A and B are shown apart, each in its own frame.
Chain A
Amino acid sequence: MDAIKEFFNFFADPRVFFLLTTGAFVFAVWRRDLFVKPSVGYGLQIFLVLFFGLGLLDENFRLIIGKPDNVPIVGLIFLLLFFTWYSMRQAVLNDQRIANAEPVAEKVEEDRVWVWPDLVYIELICLVLCSVVLIVWSIVLKAPLEQPANAAATPNPSKAPWYFLGLQEMLVYFDPWLAGVVLPSLIIVGLMAIPYIDTNPKGNGYYTFKERKAEITIFLFGFVVLWSSLIVLGTFLRGPNWNFFGPFEYWDIHKLEALTNVNLSEYIWLRGLGVGMPSHWLFRELPGILLVSFYVFGLPVVFARTVFKRYYEKLGPARFYVTAFLFLSMLSLPVKMLARWLFNLKYVVAIGELFFNI
Chain B
Amino acid sequence: MADTKTVAPKEGALERSWNWLTETQIWKSVFRHNAPITDRNRVLVVLSNVFLHLHPVRIRKSGVRLRYTWCMGGLSFFLFLTLTFTGVLLMFYYRPTLEYAYTDIVGLREHVPLGIMREMHRWGAHAMVITVWLHMFRVFMTGSYKPPREFNWNVGVIMLVLTLLLSFTGYLLPWDQLAIWAITVGSNMARATPFLGYEGPGASLLALGDVQLIHAADDARFALLGGTFVGEGALLRFYVLHCVGLPLAIAVLMAVHFWRVRKDGGISGPL
Interface size on A, residues (CB 8 A): 93
In the bound complex, how far is the Cα of B129 from the Cα of A75, in angstroms? 12
A194–chain B nearest beta-carbon distance, Å: 6
Known A-B contacts A126-B71, A160-B182, A177-B197; the reply to A149 vs B189 at CB < 8 A is no
1/0 per position for A111-155, CB-CB distance to B under 8 A? 111111111101100110011001101110111111111110111
Known A-B contacts A116-B45, A181-B200, A195-B150; the reply to A148 vs B177 at CB < 8 A is yes
- Contacting pair B71 A355 (CB below 8 A): no
Q: Which chain B residue has the least Cβ–Cβ distance from A156?
A: B181
Determine chain B's interface SS by DSSP, over half rule. helix
Residues of chain A within 8 A of B168, CB atoms compared? 161, 164
- Contacting pair B177 A146 (CB below 8 A): yes
Known A-B contacts A114-B42, A354-B201; the reply to A177 vs B137 at CB < 8 A is no
Q: Which chain B residue has the least Cβ–Cβ distance from A354?
A: B201
A5 interface contact, C-beta 8 A: no
Residues of chain B within 8 A of A126, CB atoms compared? 66, 71, 74-75, 78
B127 interface contact, C-beta 8 A: yes
A356 interface contact, C-beta 8 A: yes
Q: Which of A164-181 contact B (CB under 8 A)?
A: 164, 167-168, 175-177, 179-181
Known A-B contacts A122-B71, A126-B74, A135-B120; the reply to A205 vs B143 at CB < 8 A is yes
Interface size on B, residues (CB 8 A): 99
Q: Which chain B residue has the least Cβ–Cβ distance from A111?
A: B61
In the bound complex, how far is the Cα of B130 from the Cα of A120, in angstroms? 23
Q: Which residue of B176, B184, B189 contacts A145 across the interface (Cβ within 8 Å)?
A: B176
In the bound complex, how far is the Cα of B168 from the Cα of A115, in angstroms? 36
In the bound complex, how far is the Cα of B46 from the Cα of A162, in angstroms? 40
- Contacting pair A355 B199 (CB below 8 A): yes
- Contacting pair A160 B134 (CB below 8 A): no
Q: Which of A220-236 contact B (CB under 8 A)?
A: 223
Q: Which chain B residue has the least Cβ–Cβ distance from A175?
A: B192
Residues of chain B within 8 A of A158, CB atoms compared? 181-182, 184-185
A301 interface contact, C-beta 8 A: no
Q: Which of B30-74 contact A (CB under 8 A)?
A: 36, 39, 42, 45-46, 52, 55-62, 64-68, 70-71, 74
A83 interface contact, C-beta 8 A: yes
Q: Which of B177-210 contact A (CB under 8 A)?
A: 177-182, 184-186, 188-194, 197, 199-205
Residues of chain B within 8 A of A110, CB atoms compared? 60-62, 269-270
Q: B: which residues have CB within 8 A of A?
A: 36, 39, 42, 45-46, 52, 55-62, 64-68, 70-71, 74-75, 78-79, 82, 102, 105-106, 109, 116, 118-120, 122-124, 126-127, 129-130, 133-134, 136-138, 140-147, 149-150, 153-154, 157, 160-161, 164, 167-168, 171, 174-182, 184-186, 188-194, 197, 199-205, 229-231, 268-271
| Contacts A/B (CB < 8 Å), 26 sampled | A72-B129, A72-B130, A80-B134, A83-B138, A113-B60, A115-B57, A118-B64, A122-B64, A131-B82, A134-B82, A135-B116, A141-B123, A158-B182, A161-B171, A176-B199, A177-B200, A181-B190, A181-B193, A191-B157, A192-B157, A195-B150, A195-B154, A203-B143, A204-B147, A205-B270, A355-B202
